[in-house]
């Protein structure tokens, strides 16, 4: 066992054996190719030369696939730059809506349909509670982020909700949430389950679920019985602080992938070892070893359907009329619109996320790297029948 180069090396090393016995969908094959090719000569790039000492370096293109561990830091930071303009100076609450594992089989058959039902149920639940005069009596601002995994890469489908602590009323007033409290979680859990199961039944009746041809009437009734056999739990964390803390916190969830390269600590001809966090007696870390094929199987569980949006915004932040609604909320809170100068320049953005002065030559410390030549993509053997990286 030795330290490895992350997920891409696992796929390169164990790909031939795995693909000899497993057929991938077009979407999963595309993700696989992208991760393996990311920042290599396969995708091409360019040569940069120091304008002072003449030192050169090769810079290869990124795949930009949303499942790639190498590409998510820049995507996350660019996304957070945009979110700075939308944050309100109020406390924010973090809620987690989780689907019971009894639905895992159905999710494997019809992931897009179940994920859409999940988003719809969570959004409708939060919108209903915010509109209730007992709690806020207006339109809230919240964002939802879908995660489908747990630490060992098993399927664990849940949605993180970041909710502003207040709501905009129909008369243009801002109603703040009670200090340290947003909505009662037990009531949230019951309403969430009711809305999800109702939408699930409607989908099955209308034939929009691929599973309608897989589950017979008895199996369907048994599934519904299991869904009602125990309480669904909505987890609520303590309210967050100001905008800076909210952004830092949100960044932990928005562009996270099923497993980061830092968690993969070793690979050999048979196994992959990676770190997992446990909560048995307080948060601790341990190393888990899985057969390579099992590791790849579990990773591929979390490839999202093509074009599926895993980050969505609602209420005041909803795409319909967002600019006007945010302006009304700021007016109600008596705060000015954000200064456009707050948005970072490209150079400052690159320096911050890379933690280096990207253009400065580390050899002479004086010159700057400038592009001097293109690197054409290098043809390589592709073990799949179709689809670009």
pLDDT tens, residue order, the chain (389 aa): 444 679 999 999 999 999 999 999 999 999 999 999 999 999 999 999 999 999 999 999 999 999 999 887 667 777 777 777 788 989 999 999 999 999 999 999 899 999 999 999 999 999 999 999 999 999 999 999 999 999 999 999 999 999 999 999 999 999 999 888 899 999 999 999 999 999 999 998 888 776 545 678 888 899 999 999 888 989 998 777 776 777 777 777 787 889 999 999 999 999 999 999 876 555 688 999 999 999 999 999 999 999 999 999 999 999 998 999 999 999 999 988 776 655 555 555 555 555 455 678 888 888 888 899 999 998 776 565 444 44
Query: pTM (2 decimals)?
Result: 0.88
d(CA 93, CA 115): 22
CA atoms within 13 A on the CB side of 305: 13
Residue whose structure tokens are 């990124």: 62
Angle between helices 111-131 and 185-206 (to 10 degrees): 140
Residue 141 CB coordination number (10 Å)? 27
316/320 Cα distance (integer angstroms):
9
Distances (CA, A) of 370 to 10, 58, 229, 361: 34, 11, 64, 10
Backbone φ and ψ for 300, nearest 5 degrees, come out as: -70, -15
Helices and strands counted in the chain (H then E) = 11, 13
Cα angle at 99 between 285 and 206, to 5 degrees?
A: 150
Dihedral (Cα; 35, 84, 235, 319), 10-degree rounding: -80
DSSP state of 107: H
Which pLDDT value is given to residue 386? 44
């Amino acid at each position: 066992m030795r330290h490895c180069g992350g997920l891409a090396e696992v796929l390169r090393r164990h790909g031939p054996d795995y693909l000899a016995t497993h057929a991938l969908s077009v979407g999963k094959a595309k993700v696989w190719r992208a991760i393996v090719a990311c920042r290599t000569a396969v995708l091409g790039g360019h040569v940069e030369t120091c304008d002072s000492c003449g030192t050169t370096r090769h810079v290869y293109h990124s795949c930009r696939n949303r499942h790639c561990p190498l590409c998510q830091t820049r995507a996350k930071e660019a996304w957070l730059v945009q979110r700075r303009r939308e944050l309100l100076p109020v406390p924010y609450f973090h809620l987690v809506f989780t689907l019971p594992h009894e639905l895992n089989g159905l999710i494997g058959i019809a992931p897009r349909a179940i994920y859409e039902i999940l988003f719809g149920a969570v959004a409708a639940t939060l919108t209903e509670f915010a509109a209730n005069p007992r709690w806020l009596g207006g339109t809230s601002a919240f964002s939802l982020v879908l995660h489908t995994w747990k630490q060992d890469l098993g399927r664990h489908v849940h949605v993180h909700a970041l909710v502003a602590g207040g709501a905009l009323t129909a008369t243009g007033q801002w109603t703040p949430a009670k200090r340290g409290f947003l909505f009662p979680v037990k009531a949230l859990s019951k309403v969430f389950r009711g809305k999800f199961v109702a939408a699930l039944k409607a989908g099955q009746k209308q034939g929009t679920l691929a599973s309608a041809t897989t589950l017979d009437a008895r199996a369907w009734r048994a599934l519904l019985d299991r869904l009602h056999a125990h309480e669904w739990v909505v987890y609520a964390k303590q309210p967050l602080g100001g905008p800076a803390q909210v952004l830092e916190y949100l960044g932990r969830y928005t562009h996270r992938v099923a497993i980061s390269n830092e968690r993969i600590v070793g690979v050999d001809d048979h196994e992959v070892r990676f770190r997992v966090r446990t909560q048995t007696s307080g948060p601790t870390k341990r190393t888990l070893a899985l057969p390579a094929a099992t590791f790849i199987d579990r990773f591929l569980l979390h490839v999202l359907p093509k074009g599926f949006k895993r980050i969505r915004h609602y209420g005041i932040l909803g795409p319909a009329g967002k600019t006007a609604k945010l302006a009304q909320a700021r007016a109600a809170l008596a705060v000015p619109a954000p200064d456009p100068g707050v948005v970072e320049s490209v150079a400052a953005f690159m320096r911050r996320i890379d933690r280096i002065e990207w253009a400065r030559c580390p050899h002479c410390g004086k010159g700057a790297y400038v592009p001097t030549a293109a690197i054409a993509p290098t043809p390589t053997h592709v073990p799949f029948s179709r689809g670009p990286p």
